[in-house]
């Protein structure tokens, strides 16, 4: 045998040493609680679900401080799309340079802790931004960037990183990436449905945020590539302790109490964070940080926010009201006063949020009687399906921040109200707006809309002589199907003969008549609200930041 082809045999005594060196040079053996084939898919699915759950919950973080307008949702959607774009780009580059499963799971763990931190500090940070003067336009955008951009970028990195780790050959890139992005989308669908229909209605916002963070933390932990050896139990114990700490940490309160205030009730619903606050002998119903109703805690429980008294103008426009419907329950102040005025009147109270109706009974002294019927429905849908006719329709429904839901102010909606009225029935609506100037858009368009539907529309602006037409105030429109005009002198005579067993008596009625606006400002160019075009959410009605 030639020397070239001769194999050099290693002495037997050298073989164990060589094997030891080979073992030391081989890659470490990893231990996973979930097999890696399924673990990567589970991580992608969970990240997609947590991402969309965080976007839905994000609106509840911002609403107490910036309202629940189109600006909030526009800011959230924009920030999450920016985050996904950045995450896809950064994740793809990082995966090519460091294709490590441990790095991917570490990113997810960091994101999970960041989401839990939102439950602790998110409300306080939004409150601070609002205190700096950030308004309903710029405030939601800046707050969304600060609070939600970092964790969303991290979750956006998961899918491209997972594609890089799961791809075994160029020929399978399409199949692998398609499968993983489909899993991420399926997770997003599940997260959206679960957060919207289960978590927010059943538990508080802090619990939702902690739950989202802990779900990502647990999945990241059980799919983490632990090294086999002594450190494995230590790492597992550290993750367990981290989970317990996250669960036990206190959360920031969405409704901070002021001096002398006491919380009576506090509940999250699919529509609001509702709190009932007592202070100085008054009780307030708050939707997030906005006061919706206030009453004095002494019989007959009147409201210092006396705009509800103006609903009684309906008794002057039509002296006999036998059947009335209120769209928007609030604290039940209006229905309760109408019942005091005439205990034989049939009153229907409609509110989309059943918890608001429950609190009107339990905390705001709305009487339980067969003549006051409550319905947890959308007001427009209720009227469309209602049987019979009403003598008066009172619209006093508001979203968070002081605007009427857009679908209740359109021509089509007001036509439904008109069609449910008797021949001489009355429609009353309460607005927050100025009469003139840049803050008058809501009043101008609402008056224009009502004028296209009803024969006559009368304007009562609460305290407008004192505050001036350019300032925001309660503006009450009283619309009638009757074409006969009621001049100011007739309103005065009707008020002088008015009598009521409620706390809204003759003197109060005479004072309200003084707020009748006879000389309307120029309404040229004011668009009527329709189902196709009703930008009430973007119309300013009060002084605020940019």
Phi, then psi, of 444 in degrees rounded to 5: -60, -45
pLDDT digits (tens, 9 = 90+) for 131-167: 888 877 888 999 999 999 999 999 999 999 999 998 8
* CA atoms in the 13 A half-sphere facing the CB of 398: 21
Phi, then psi, of 169 in degrees rounded to 5: -155, 160
Binned at pLDDT 50, 70 and 90, residue 128 comes out as: confident
pLDDT digits (tens, 9 = 90+) for 282-324: 999 998 778 889 999 999 999 988 899 999 999 999 989 999 9
What residue ranges in 247-389 does DSSP mark as E strands?
A: 262-268, 273-279, 282-287, 290-296, 323-327, 346-350, 372-375
What CA–CA distance (Å, rounded) separates 27 from 32? Answer: 16
Higher pLDDT, 60 or 278: 278
With a CB cutoff of 8 Å and minimum separation 6, the contacts of 117 are: none
pLDDT of residue 226: 66
What strands, in cross-sheet order, belong to the sheet with 273-279?
262-268, 273-279, 282-287, 290-296
Task: State mean pLDDT over 23-30.
Answer: 45
pLDDT digits (tens, 9 = 90+) for 450-468: 999 999 999 999 988 888 8
Minimal CA–CA distance to 268: which of 212, 206, 326? 206
Task: Tell whether the model's pLDDT for residue 346 goes beyond 80.
Answer: yes
pLDDT of residue 250: 58
Q: Which fold has domain 30-248?
A: Growth Hormone; Chain: A; (1.20.1250)
Task: Tell whether the model's pLDDT for residue 8 goes beyond 50.
Answer: no
282-287/290-296 β-pairing: antiparallel
The mean pLDDT value of the chain amounts to 86
Binned at pLDDT 50, 70 and 90, residue 7 comes out as: very low
Contact criterion met (CB below 8 Å) for 105 and 167:
no
Minimal CA–CA distance to 482: which of 458, 446, 448, 518? 458
For residue 166, the surrounding DSSP H or E stretch is helix 158-166
DSSP SS3 for 349: strand
For residue 395, the surrounding DSSP H or E stretch is strand 390-395
Task: Tell whether the model's pLDDT for residue 37 goes beyond 60.
Answer: yes
pLDDT of residue 545: 42
Minimal CA–CA distance to 122: which of 95, 99, 144? 144
What CA–CA distance (Å, rounded) separates 83 from 231? Answer: 35
DSSP SS3 for 275: strand
pLDDT digits (tens, 9 = 90+) for 422-446: 999 999 999 999 999 999 999 999 9
Whole-number percent of the chain with pLDDT over 70: 86
Binned at pLDDT 50, 70 and 90, residue 329 comes out as: very high
Higher pLDDT, 322 or 32: 322
Minimal CA–CA distance to 285: which of 363, 343, 402? 363
Phi, then psi, of 456 in degrees rounded to 5: -135, 140
CATH code for the part of the protein at 306-519: 3.40.50.150
pLDDT digits (tens, 9 = 90+) for 69-85: 788 899 999 999 999 99
Task: Tell whether the model's pLDDT for residue 220 goes beyond 60.
Answer: yes
pLDDT of residue 270: 81
pLDDT of residue 133: 82
Among 22-26, 266-270, 430-434, 464-468, the minimum mean pLDDT is found in 22-26
pLDDT of residue 239: 59
pLDDT of residue 231: 47
Binned at pLDDT 50, 70 and 90, residue 372 comes out as: very high
pLDDT of residue 402: 72
Q: Identify the sign of the CA torsion 59, 65, 67, 73.
A: negative
Largest CA distance in the chain: 131
Domain ranges within the chain, ordered by starting residue:
30-248, 306-519
Higher pLDDT, 229 or 500: 500
pLDDT of residue 64: 78
Minimal CA–CA distance to 277: which of 269, 289, 265, 268? 265
Minimal CA–CA distance to 392: which of 323, 334, 309? 323
Task: State mean pLDDT over 248-265.
Answer: 70
Binned at pLDDT 50, 70 and 90, residue 18 comes out as: very low
What CA–CA distance (Å, rounded) separates 62 from 145? Answer: 12
Structure tokens at 343: 């205990």
Q: pTM for the complete prediction?
A: 0.80
For residue 109, the surrounding DSSP H or E stretch is helix 101-131
Whole-number percent of the chain with pLDDT over 90: 61
Task: Tell whether the model's pLDDT for residue 378 goes beyond 70.
Answer: yes
């Amino acid at each position: 045998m030639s020397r070239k082809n001769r194999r050099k045999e290693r002495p037997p005594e050298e073989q164990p040493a060589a094997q030891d060196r080979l073992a030391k040079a081989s890659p470490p053996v990893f231990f996973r609680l979930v097999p890696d084939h399924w673990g990567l898919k589970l991580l992608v699915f969970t990240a997609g679900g947590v991402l969309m759950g965080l976007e839905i919950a994000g609106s509840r973080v911002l609403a107490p401080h910036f309202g629940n307008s189109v600006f909030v949702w526009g800011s959230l959607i924009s920030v999450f799309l920016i985050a996904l774009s950045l995450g896809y780009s950064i994740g793809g580059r990082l995966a090519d340079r460091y294709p490590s499963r441990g790095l991917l799971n570490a990113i997810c763990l960091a994101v999970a802790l960041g989401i839990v931190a939102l439950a602790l500090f998110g409300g306080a940070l939004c409150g601070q931004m609002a205190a700096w003067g950030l308004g309903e336009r710029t405030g939601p955008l800046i707050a969304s960037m600060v609070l939600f951009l970092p964790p969303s970028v991290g979750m956006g990195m998961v899918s491209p990183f997972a594609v890089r780790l799961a791809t075994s050959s160029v020929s399978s890139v399409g199949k692998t990436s398609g499968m993983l992005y489909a899993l991420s989308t399926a997770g997003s669908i599940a997260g959206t449905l679960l957060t919207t229909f289960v978590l927010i209605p059943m538990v508080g916002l802090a619990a939702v945020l902690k739950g989202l963070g802990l779900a990502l933390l647990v999945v990241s932990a059980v799919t983490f590539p632990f090294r086999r050896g002594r450190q494995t139990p230590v790492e597992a114990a550290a993750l367990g302790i981290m989970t317990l700490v996250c669960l036990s940490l206190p959360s920031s309160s969405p409704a901070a109490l002021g001096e002398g205030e006491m919380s009576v009730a506090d509940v999250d619903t699919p529509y609001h964070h509702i709190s009932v606050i007592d202070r100085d002998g008054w009780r307030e119903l708050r939707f997030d940080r906005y006061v919706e109703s206030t009453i004095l805690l002494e019989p007959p429980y009147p409201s210092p926010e006396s705009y509800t008294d103006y609903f009684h103008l309906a008794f002057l426009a039509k002296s006999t009201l036998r059947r009335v419907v209120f769209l928007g329950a609030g604290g039940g102040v209006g229905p309760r006063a109408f019942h005091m005025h005439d205990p034989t009147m049939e009153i229907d109270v409609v509110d989309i949020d059943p918890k608001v109706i429950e609190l009107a009974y339990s905390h705001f002294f709305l009487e339980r009687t067969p003549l006051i019927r409550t319905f947890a429905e959308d007001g427009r849908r209720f009227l469309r399906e209602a049987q019979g006719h009403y003598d008066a329709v009172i619209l006093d429904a508001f979203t968070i921040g002081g605007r009427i839901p857009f679908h209740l102010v359109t021509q089509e909606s007001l036509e439904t109200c008109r069609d449910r009225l008797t021949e001489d029935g009355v429609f009353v609506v309460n607005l927050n707006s100025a009469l003139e100037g840049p803050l008058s858009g809501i009043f101008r368009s609402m008056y224009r809309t009502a004028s296209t539907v009803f024969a006559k529309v009368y304007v009562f602006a609460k305290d407008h002589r004192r505050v001036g037409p350019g300032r925001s105030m309660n503006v009450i429109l009283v619309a009638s199907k009757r074409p006969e005009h009621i001049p100011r002198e007739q309103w005065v005579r009707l008020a002088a003969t008015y009598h009521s067993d409620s706390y809204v008596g003759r003197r109060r009625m005479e004072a309200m008549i003084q707020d009748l606006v006879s000389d309307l400002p120029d309404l040229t160019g004011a668009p009527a609200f329709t189902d196709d075009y009703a930008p009430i959410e973007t119309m300013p009605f009060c002084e605020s930041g940019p």
